[in-house]
Chain A
Amino acid sequence: MMKKIFTRPKALTESPFHYCPGCSHGIVHRLVAEVIDELGVADDTVGVCPVGCAVFAYNYFNVDMFQASHGRAPAVATGIKRSLPDRIVFTYQGDGDLASIGTAEIVHAVARSEKFTSIFINNAVYGMTGGQMAPTTLIGQKTTTTPAGRDQEETGFPIKMSEMLSTLDGAAYVARVSVHSPQHIVKAKKAIKKAFEIQMSGKGFAMVEVLSICPTNWGMSPSESLKWLEENMIPYYPLGVYKEPAEVK
């Protein structure tokens, strides 16, 4: 008999992803699901999906799920975790969701050190609504609302959420990873697992920012997009662990 070495994680349903070819959302869903499987916590996990391309994540994760209004997933997760302190709660949010309309909710959830985990997809653009500028869009990057390229005189500077949130005492674990290469995917999974373990140990808020691609709205092929991420996003958004509990260092 042949040994199966690549199967669908149990924490994913059978529903096929609706994401565009090459999109990072599918990879990150898989990583989160593998972590839920490895920790054996599917029965205790409650996820909160955003408004954005990942809005249908409730069809994909094979755990109890909430769909939250745009940007408010951290408030919804707060309500869930405060009601069910022994469950494992995560939010899955894009950069428009977490870093623009929902900045107040994420900042205060971190400040309160809410014991949930946020997976933050930074693809430098608003995917779902047609490629508009996100708070994370790079200077010079063309989007549908910055057709000549983002100009800092007009629209200011991209927000570095991991750096910013890691200054808050309530942040237990903050890391930025990328999924543009197999090696980086392995590292990303480790960070996601750590972020769940930190929550389970009750140490406080944990977030993993995942640098991601949106070939559709970047107007590039998936392989060009991976290269663009590496050459443009990583220099501005350095990878690494920005905050972790002293004992686990």
Chain B
Amino acid sequence: MSKILMKGNEAIGEGAIRAGCRHFFGYPITPQSELPHYLAKRMPEVNGVFLQAESEVSSINMVYGAAGAGKRVMTSSSSPGLSLMQEGISYLVGAELPCVVVNIMRGGPGLGNIAPAQGDYFQSTKGGGHGDYKLITLAPESVQEIIDLMAKAFDLSDQYRNPVMLLGDGVLGQMMEPVELGDIKDVKQTEKTWAASGMKGRNKPNIINSLYIQPEDCEDMNEKLFAKYAEISGKEKLWEEYQLDEADIVLVAYGTAARICKSAVDKAREKGIKAGLVRPITLWPFPDNVIADAASSANNVLTVEMSMGQMVEDVRLAVNGTCPVHFYGRSGGMVPLVSDVLAEIEKLAAGGDR
């Protein structure tokens, strides 16, 4: 099949449709607006539901309703909108409802700006809302990878009955790249016998609920969630290794920052500096073992982010003191230049003080 040109935001929409998602609820915000625009046209073509909600608070609660009714459902927003959704996401986790939540991150804090950023790593991977929980967080770096990961996102959320976050930034959302969509396949979906969709002859009601009034029961629930998270951590880590052969300097970056780092690694290798990159694709579960392995034979680890440094904390935990972990980042919507990252690599190669 031939390739077509698509924007990242549109690819998220098409990927969701191809994954069998027929319900979308969202509230407009830049830089993800092409996604609702796309789905407003596309959903009716597949007899799906596109609904513009009155706020992100409503969007996520509509998602709760559709997910609890047993449907594949998605919402999308950008940073401030995600902040508003946090209570709802926590309820989705507590009620063990599958859904996909997209965050095309922008500059913050506050209203910030509409430029690309990676400042919501903590919010996405550490819970974000109240209570003890995790979101499976997928961070694609290209339009093709978006298409490839959307089906995975819905499958993982159904399999583990936990929301999945697709985390990108404004560059990824807005950029146009050629993609191979592949054939439209019938999507195999797991049967959701737990859904509250009307008893229809069942003799016991199904209840969608996150209230565990007895502390003993609530603790049991937390332990159940964390047993699930242990299984996910064991089975579902995704990452890419780039030029890691004999790498003295190991870069760690995701999404748009990782693409910039790949160019910097190529330039460094041209100059004879043995640099390489680990690109986490799942930010949670975090591929800490891969980073630890790469770091064990390296002299330096350099984390590059479009933030003041968030993922770097997980990198430090993974490396666990076996070699120094450095950080380079731009924030507030500023994107690092390849030459800036290269300069950081060269400083480390020269053994100089960064």
Measuring CB to CB, which residues of chain A are less than 8 angstroms from any residue of chain B? 13, 42-46, 48, 55-56, 58, 61-69, 72, 75-84, 87-88, 104-105, 107-108
**Contacting pair B58 A108 (CB below 8 A):** yes
Interface string of B201-217 (1 = CB under 8 A from A): 10001111111000000
Chain A, residue nearest B201 (CB): A43
**Contacting pair A78 B200 (CB below 8 A):** no
**Contacting pair A69 B61 (CB below 8 A):** yes
Measuring CB to CB, which residues of chain B are less than 8 angstroms from any residue of chain A? 23, 25, 49, 51, 53-55, 57-59, 61-71, 73, 87-88, 91, 95, 196-201, 205-211
**Bound form: Cα–Cα A69–B129 in Å:** 13
Q: When the two chains form the complex, which single residue of B63, B67, B71, B205 contacts A65, counting CB atoms closer than 8 Å?
A: B205
**Bound form: Cα–Cα A15–B332 in Å:** 54
Q: A65-B208, A75-B65 are in contact. Are A42 and B55 (CB under 8 A)?
A: no
Contacts of B53 in A (CB 8 A): 75, 108
Contacts of A46 in B (CB 8 A): 69, 196-198
Q: A44-B200, A76-B61, A83-B71 are in contact. Are A67 and B207 (CB under 8 A)?
A: yes
Looking at the assembled complex, report how far the CB atom of A129 sits from the nearest CB atom of chain B, in whole angstroms. 15
**Contacting pair A75 B61 (CB below 8 A):** yes
Identify the 3 closest CB pairs spanning chains A and B, nearest first: A79-B65, A75-B61, A79-B62
**Bound form: Cα–Cα A81–B65 in Å:** 8
**Bound form: Cα–Cα A54–B51 in Å:** 29
- Given A76-B61, A76-B62, list of 11 further CB < 8 A pairs? A56-B211, A69-B91, A72-B58, A72-B88, A75-B58, A77-B65, A79-B61, A80-B66, A83-B197, A84-B198, A105-B54
Chain A, residue nearest B64 (CB): A76
**Contacting pair B66 A79 (CB below 8 A):** yes
For B23, B57, B63, B201, which residue has the most chain A Cβ atoms within 10 angstroms?
B57
Chain A, residue nearest B67 (CB): A79
**Bound form: Cα–Cα A82–B58 in Å:** 14
Q: A44-B198, A84-B198 are in contact. Are A79 and B73 (CB under 8 A)?
A: yes
**Bound form: Cα–Cα A79–B58 in Å:** 9
Q: When the two chains form the complex, which single residue of B49, B197, B198, B211 contacts A82, counting CB atoms closer than 8 Å?
A: B49
